[in-house]
């Protein structure tokens, strides 16, 4: 790379990965996104495996970003904005552990930032219920099937214009 330095990686689960990916793709400084599965105990799960609720995986979006354009803290703010972090294993009509609110951190700085912002949000009074978002170390990322990648762009869905 030139003077841009090292790219960052962040991984978030906030319900169905289609909308989460669409939201992060709108953020200036995001280089790429991939949807997939993380946090489970089943080797190389398929979408059907994860949807069964038996693998322990969450639907996640892996975000590659330029930290000189967008900070990890800014990505965290997007994460908190796009879903309800007070609903356990549910986002909207999607129910199950695969739809849980989770931040998979890739280093100690990400962990500290995620924990700090979660605590600030909890005491802010913004949410009437406790925040149930998990903050856990990143594990093996299992790339979802190709038809899930950039799903909203492929299907022409326009319902996720956040910025």
Distance of CA 156 to the CA centre of its chain: 22
Length of the chain: 163
Is 51 labeled as catalytic in the residue annotation? no
Give the long-range contacts of residues 130-133, CB within 8 A, separation 24 or more.
130/86, 131/85, 131/86, 131/101, 132/85, 132/86, 132/87, 132/88, 132/100, 132/101, 133/85, 133/101, 133/102, 133/103
How many of the other CB atoms lie within 10 Å of CB of 24? 24
User: Which member of 10, 12, 14, 16 is catalytic?
Assistant: 16
With contact defined as beta carbons under 8 Å apart, do 116 and 124 qualify? no
Report residue 111 as tokens: 């962990």
Instruction: Report the catalytic residues.
Output: 16
């Amino acid at each position: 790379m030139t003077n841009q330095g090292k790219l960052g990686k962040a991984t978030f689960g906030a319900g169905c990965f289609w909308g989460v990916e669409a939201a992060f793709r709108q953020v200036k400084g995001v280089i790429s996104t991939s949807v997939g599965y993380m946090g489970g105990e089943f080797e190389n799960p398929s979408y059907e495996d994860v949807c069964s609720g038996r693998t322990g995986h969450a639907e996640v979006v892996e975000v590659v970003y330029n930290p000189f354009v967008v900070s990890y803290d800014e990505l965290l703010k997007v994460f908190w904005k796009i879903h309800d972090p007070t609903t356990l294993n549910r986002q909207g009509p999607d129910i199950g552990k695969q739809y849980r609110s989770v931040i998979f951190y890739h280093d100690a700085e990400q962990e500290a930032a995620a924990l700090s912002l979660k605590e600030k949000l909890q005491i802010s009074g913004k949410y009437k219920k406790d925040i149930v978002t998990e903050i856990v170390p990143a594990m093996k990322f299992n790339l979802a099937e190709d038809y899930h990648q950039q799903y909203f762009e492929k299907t022409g869905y326009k319902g996720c214009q956040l910025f």
